[in-house]
Amino acid sequence: MVSSRVTLIVSLVAFAAIHSFLASLPFKRFLMRVMGLRADKLFMPVYSLIAIITISPVVYLFFRKPGSILYIVSSPWRWLMVGGQLVATLVAPRALLDAPHRFSIRKQLAGPGTSEAGHLEIKGIYRWVRDPFLLSGLVIIWLTPFMTTNLLIIYILASIYLYLGSLHWETRLVAQFGDEYREYKKRVHRIIPRLREH
């Protein structure tokens, strides 16, 4: 009988593989050929729905067998951690609003310097951190005020995936913005926010 831990790991790897494939530029080129401009409007909602569906087995497996408790943080530290998670939760929608041009398939597939790709606009949260999604994801994960063996496995694999996904995301941004993005990388850290603007 396959252990719940192995099943959990396989489910997480399957989620990561599907998620990465759907986010890849070759798949997005295929979508644009098949669907045209409709791909830009439909991609994010469909992508998000598929992410929810494919992560559901992981959530189910964890709730069925969470594993042994490693620690539970007591008050008042627990509420400080939860407060940090809530603040981090606000970062993702803010990041979407501050850089909508980064999430357009048409723009991602255009080469640097083209009118279609546009220029790299640095505003809002991106003035302090290059990948706010990676930052907020890690904060939400590691400020959880309790830990079990299976949750620790999920969090370690999720952290690795978030980091590798960030590297992949930056490759796409370099392909879209070229030297503009390379210069931006020299000024702003990927994860650790700078306290002062440049």
Please tell me whether the peptide bond between 76 and the residue prior to it is cis, using omega within 30 degrees of 0: yes
Mean pLDDT score, 99-125? 78
Please tell me the distance from the alpha carbon of residue 80 to that of residue 70, in angstroms, as a whole number.
19
Residue carrying structure tokens 């798949």: 27
The residue that leads in pLDDT, 107 or 20, is 20
Residues in the chain: 198
| Protein fold of 4-187 | Four Helix Bundle (Hemerythrin (Met), subunit A) (1.20.120)
| Domain range annotation of the chain | 4-187
Greatest C-alpha distance within the chain: 57
Could you tell me the pTM of the whole model?
A: 0.84
Band (pLDDT 50/70/90 cuts) for residue 196 is: low
Model pLDDT for residues 64-111, shown as the tens digit of each residue? 888 899 999 999 999 999 999 999 998 888 888 888 766 778 877 777
Kindly report which listed range (97-111, 131-145, 173-187) carries the lowest average pLDDT score: 97-111
Look at 121 and 162; give whichever has higher pLDDT: 162
26-38 tens-digit pLDDT = 898 898 889 888 8
For residues 171-192, average pLDDT = 89
**CB distance 89 to 82 below 8 Å:** no
The C-alpha atoms of residue 142 and residue 30 are separated, in whole angstroms, by 37
